[in-house]
C-alpha cells in the first residue's frame, strides 16, 4: 500500500503543473512561480513517501 505522503505529493505535483500552466496562459508570473514551487514540494513529499514505503517493505 502506498504511503499517504506519496499520494499527497503526487497530487501537489499535478496541481502545481496546472497552476503553472494557468499562470503561463494568463501571464501571471506569481501564479506560475507558485505552481513551480508546488511541484517541487510535491516531488519532495513523494520522495519522502517512497522512502517510508521502502523502509516499511524492508522491515517485513
Burial bucket for residue 31 (CB in 10 Å: 0-12, 13-18, 19+): middle
* Per-residue model confidence as pLDDT tens digits over 15-55: 999 999 999 999 999 999 999 999 999 999 999 998 988 88
Confidence class for position 1, pLDDT limits 50, 70, 90? low
* Structure confidence at residue 15 (pLDDT): 97
Rounded to two decimals, the pTM is 0.84
pLDDT at 60: 65
Q: How many other β-carbons are positioned within 10 Å of the β-carbon of residue 18?
A: 13
Q: What is the pLDDT of residue 35?
A: 98
Amino acid at each position: 500500500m502506498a504511503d499517504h505522503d506519496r499520494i499527497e505529493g503526487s497530487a501537489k505535483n499535478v496541481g502545481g503543473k496546472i497552476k503553472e500552466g494557468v499562470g503561463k496562459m494568463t501571464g501571471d508570473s506569481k501564479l506560475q512561480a507558485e505552481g513551480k514551487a508546488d511541484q517541487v514540494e510535491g516531488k519532495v513529499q513523494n520522495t519522502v513517501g517512497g522512502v517510508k514505503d521502502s523502509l516499511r517493505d524492508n522491515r517485513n
